[in-house]
Each structure stands twice: as structure tokens, then as C-alpha cells.
Amino acid sequence: MPRFAGAPIVASLRPPRADSPDMARIFITGSADGLGRMAAGLLVADGHDVVLHARNEARGRDAMQATPGAAGVVTGDLATLAGMRAVAKAANALGRFDAVIHNAAVGYREPVRIETADGLPHVLAINSLAPYVLTALMERPARLVYVSSGLHRSGDASLRDLAWKARTWNGTQAYSDSKLHDVLLAFAIARRWPGVGSNAIEPGWVATKMGGPGAPDDLSLGPRTQAWLAAGDDPKARVTGGYFYHQRPKDVLGAARSADVQDRFITACEALTGIALPPA
């Protein structure tokens, strides 16, 4: 199986804007393309300081060119625990962010179990563990946004065999599980860190590289909810423990609201990564 190594970390940052008291500093993982880049563009247009993330330097350069006005970029591969730690360290070196959007993800089309350098499934590492590790290691922001999917409702809330060592590999199921994990993490943080606004969102099935050209939802609406939750002044955006679709609350898989399931997921993340979630 292919193995993935952590990429070198490079961070660049222009001085923050001093002319806008309403400006927020926002970090967006996986913002070299797709919804992450679109959300970055919306936030930059609204006058916020946005730091991008890409998995390597070439993509980082492309991301900066594609998002004029972005404050900087952090590069690093979130497929490995070493890469996750390095991205968190590089982001922290830039100072505290007001909001972090955990957008980086891989899709449901992996036909076989691709194993990372840590012996973990590629999908689990990037979609589930990277948001956990960055949440645990980055300086705590005021707002956290986790990008999930409607497929989380098909996720396995038993949390059995997260590493897919006993189960027969199913790419769609692995993706659905990971998107449930994102909701569990958002809700666990909302419960454990009451001073932080922690929410999950469903962007819809939109025509990104991941979603495919036949996706039926409105692409222009795909990035708006995460940008709204990260920096919006609307009282409806200044909440915690919510799950949103197009800026409106939406139902989640019932098990996602279970404190026991949330806590079991956090415990599993601690065991798989060796990193404990800081207490409130």
C-alpha cells in the first residue's frame, strides 16, 4: 500500500490589517481548492485576515495566487501524525486565531484501504484525526467549524474498528464514518469547552472535485455557512453545539448527540494519536 510522509512545513504571513476593528483572523485547512478556497475568498472579501493551508509548497503557492488578499499559508501533510503536529506548531507560531475552519478532507472513492505511515487508513487520518489533533494542539480560538456531510447519517456510531483492520474495506462507509466523527468532535468540544463556539456544517452535495460534476446542490451556497459561523455577527451564528445546512439548523444522526458516543470518540482519538484533548 502507498505510504504517506509528513511534508515540510512553511509558514508565511503578512502583517495583520490595522484598519478594521471587525477583522477576524481565520485559519482554514484544505483551502488550496474546493470549498475551503471558496470560503477563504468570501472571508477575504469581507475584510478578514485569512491564513490558508495546503499539503505541500507547490499547492501553497497555487492557493495564495488563487486567493488574492490572503494573509499567508501554512503547508503540511495532514495524512500523518507528524504532519498534523507540524501544521499545528506552524499555525501557533503565527499567533492565536479567532476561528479555525476544519475543512481538509478526502472523499469516498478510495477503492482500497490506503495506509498512512502511522498504519492508519488515509480517510480516517485526514478527515477524523487531523481535526482532532489540530483542535487539541492549536491555541484555542473563539470559534471552531467542522465541515461534515449529509453522509454522516450513515456513519457507524458504534465506533467499532476505526482503523478498518477487521472490517472489509468500504470507501463510502469509511467516508460516512469520518463525517460522523467530525460531528461528534464538534459536539464534544461544545460540551467540554463552553467558552468556544463549536459547530458542524453540511455544505451540501456540490460540484467540487470531491463532489463530482453531477452534484445537484448550489455550489455558491456550499462555502457560505462555514464563513458565516467563523466570522458572522448574526446572533444565529454566535452559537455552539449546532449542525447547520445553508445557515439553518438541520437534524443530525441521533447518536451524535449522545455524550457517551462523543466521549468514546475522544478516547479513541487519544489512543490513536497519543495526544490528549486539553480540559476546559
Question: Cα-flanking dihedrals φ and ψ of residue 75, to 5°?
Answer: -115, 140
What residues contact residue 205 under an 8 Å CB cut-off, 6+ apart?
150, 211, 215, 216, 217
Q: Is-contact 262 191, C-beta < 8 A?
A: yes
Looking at residue 252, what DSSP letter applies?
Answer: -
Residue 257 is classified by DSSP as G
The CA dihedral of 16, 22, 26, 31, to the nearest 10 degrees, is -100
In this structure, the number of other CB atoms found within 10 A of the CB of residue 137 comes to 18
CA of residue 141 relative to chain centroid, distance: 14
Q: How far apart are CA 202 and CA 26, in angstroms?
A: 19
99-102, strands of its sheet edge to edge: 10-13, 72-75, 49-54, 25-28, 99-102, 143-147, 197-201, 243-245, 248-249
Report the chain's terminal Cα–Cα distance, integer Å: 40
What Cα–Cα distance (Å) separates residue 267 from each residue in 80, 154, 161, 261, 262? 19, 22, 14, 10, 9
> Which residue type occupies 246?
H
CB-based contact 125:155 (threshold 8 Å): no
Catalytic-role residue among 108, 132, 146, 179: 179
- Reply yes or no on whether 179 is catalytic: yes
Is 245 among the catalytic positions?
Answer: no
Annotated active-site residue in 108, 132, 146, 175: 175
Residues with active-site annotation = 175, 179
